[in-house]
Amino acid sequence: MKYSRKLATASIVLLSLLMVISGFFSATRAETAKTAEAATTSEWKAGAATAKITPSRPMPMSGYAGRKDNPSEGTEQDLFAKALAIEDADGNRVVIVTTDLIGILATLREDVATKVEAKYGLPPQALLMNASHTHCGPSYGRDDTRDYFEFLSGEIVRIIGEAIDTMEPANLSYASAKCGFAMNRRTPTPQGFRNHPNPEGVVDHTVPVLRVDDAEGNLKTVLFGYSCHNTTMGFMKWLGDYAGYAQEYFEADHPGVTAMFMNNCSGDQNPYPRSMLYFAQRHGRTLATAVEAALETNQSAFFHQRKLSGPMKSIFETVELEFTEESKREPFSYPVQVLQFGDGLSLIALGTEVVVDYSLRLKKELGDRGPAIWVAGYSNVYSGYIPSKRVLEEGGYEAVSRPWKPELEERIISKAHALFDEVNR
């Protein structure tokens, strides 16, 4: 009898153990099936990569003419280039590169585009390169910084390849929030428009965010923008400024996530207050928090995440902008690019330093067509200010920097409309 009771007890223990093991394998199979199902339902693939591009030696700094021949005096914050590769279900691919640089020189764009097309088969129209416009970065287009140019180009090509090679099933969505430290810097005075904070001036406080999740729903990459000069500081140290801090803080709060900043239409927008390092840090924290708001962080349900579907389209063309006859300058080939994410998002990339009027106008004119409209400046070429017709007529710093004909705004807007129509047929 005693033996029978022991046998019964052992049988119960064994049965319980078998049930636990069976449950474990069932749960594992269910989780595996769930993961496989998620992977098969993800119509995108995405991958991201990062390179540190802080110069390894003192170099001339960019941004302010008064210090162009003075070497840097150290590093306050490392500078980075980052690449995001995206591919739709049909194999259509784009790569977005963000950099802690003053701008994307045409020579850098051409060098990188040529190499990645030859090495990875990426057509030039599918490559978008954007600069944060930090004024605490290197002046890399000079003869005496050619070694850095070669290093920079090589690193960007390398991370593009890494981003492409590490693409995995992903889900994409778009959302936006607001951030308030940018202020128009054109103040009217009896002596004309002065470079001074104008609380009544036009602004665009939108923070657009492209969210990339893996097949299991884990956040992997955020690409976000803002329309504000990245110029809180102007000292002699390497610094990503507020945009560098925004990326640094977001990545620290989300280990393993790549945060990428894309400067938008900031030609007449400044961060205020400025000229103190802690203001750059505070602005960075403010912007990182706005990204969190756009992602609806810690909300029990999402209501503002616009899920993106394919197809992925890209188009890149130039429009000839003319200078005044008196200036005797040759026309300038100005790049306009559109990346189209199905019917959910149109990312319009404009070259060099466009004022905020371009963002506000394109969003107003195209905003009722269906896709969300994101307008970035500082993309694919860097050659000074692109004022609107209004700014040209008003005068002031942004207007007199280049002797443009007033038709430049209509030419750029018309080209953006034409490319938008082309990818939204």
- CA separation for the pair 353, 67 (Å, rounded): 20
Residue 3 is assigned to a structural domain of this protein:
no
- CA separation for the pair 301, 53 (Å, rounded): 39
Residue 11 is assigned to a structural domain of this protein:
no
Reported confidence tier of residue 11, pLDDT bands at 50, 70, 90: low
- CA separation for the pair 283, 182 (Å, rounded): 9
Reported confidence tier of residue 64, pLDDT bands at 50, 70, 90: confident
Residue 32 is assigned to a structural domain of this protein:
no
- CA separation for the pair 339, 41 (Å, rounded): 23
Helix (H) or strand (E) holding 315: strand 312-321
- Read off the pLDDT of residues 372-411 as tens digits, 9 standing for 90 and up: 999 999 999 999 999 999 999 999 999 998 999 999 999 9
- List the one residue out of 323, 245, 331 whose CA is nearest residue 291: 245
Least confident span in 257-261, 273-277, 325-329: 325-329
- CA separation for the pair 83, 97 (Å, rounded): 4
What predicted TM-score, i.e. pTM, was given to this entire model? Answer: 0.90
- Read off the pLDDT of residues 71-84 as tens digits, 9 standing for 90 and up: 999 999 999 999 99
Residue 13 is assigned to a structural domain of this protein:
no
- Read off the pLDDT of residues 110-126 as tens digits, 9 standing for 90 and up: 999 999 999 999 999 99
pLDDT at 5: 52
Q: Is the predicted pLDDT of residue 270 greater than 60, yes or no?
A: yes
pLDDT at 108: 98
Q: Is the predicted pLDDT of residue 163 greater than 50, yes or no?
A: yes
- Read off the pLDDT of residues 204-220 as tens digits, 9 standing for 90 and up: 999 999 999 999 999 99
> Can you read off the two tokens belonging to residue 388?
């609107």
Chain centroid to CA 208:
9
Q: Is the predicted pLDDT of residue 345 greater than 70, yes or no?
A: yes
Residue 16 is assigned to a structural domain of this protein:
no
67 or 420: whose pLDDT is higher?
420
Please compute the mean of the pLDDT values over residues 129-150 and round it to a whole number: 97
- Read off the pLDDT of residues 278-318 as tens digits, 9 standing for 90 and up: 999 999 999 999 999 999 999 999 999 999 999 999 999 99
pLDDT at 34: 39
Q: Look at the alpha carbons of 189, 194, 199, 203 in this order and tell me if their dihedral is positive or negative.
A: positive
Please compute the mean of the pLDDT values over residues 234-247 and round it to a whole number: 97
Mean of per-residue pLDDT scores for the chain = 92
Total domains in the chain come to 1
Residue 346: is it exposed, middle or buried by C-beta count within 10 angstroms (0-12/13-18/19+)? buried
pLDDT at 66: 72
Q: Give percent helix, percent strand, percent coil of the chain, each to the nearest 5.
A: 35, 30, 35
> Which domain does 414 fall in, by range?
45-425
pLDDT at 363: 98
Q: Is the predicted pLDDT of residue 55 greater than 50, yes or no?
A: yes
> Can you read off the two tokens belonging to residue 290?
């706005």
Q: Look at the alpha carbons of 282, 284, 286, 289 in this order and tell me if their dihedral is positive or negative.
A: negative
CB atoms closer than 10 angstroms to residue 253: 14
Residue 283 is assigned to a structural domain of this protein:
yes
Q: Which position has the token pair 């992977």?
A: 39
What's the Cα-to-Cα distance from 201 to each of 137, 187, 192, 269, 355, rounded to whole Å? 28, 8, 15, 9, 12
Residue 135 is assigned to a structural domain of this protein:
yes
Q: Is the predicted pLDDT of residue 13 greater than 70, yes or no?
A: no
Q: Look at the alpha carbons of 152, 158, 161, 167 in this order and tell me if their dihedral is positive or negative.
A: negative
Residue 35 is assigned to a structural domain of this protein:
no
pLDDT at 130: 99
pLDDT at 41: 75
- Read off the pLDDT of residues 182-209 as tens digits, 9 standing for 90 and up: 999 999 999 999 999 999 999 999 999 9
> Can you read off the two tokens belonging to residue 105?
């020189």
pLDDT at 21: 43
pLDDT at 28: 41
Q: Is the predicted pLDDT of residue 367 greater than 80, yes or no?
A: yes
- CA separation for the pair 264, 233 (Å, rounded): 19
Q: Say what percent of the chain tops pLDDT 90.
A: 87
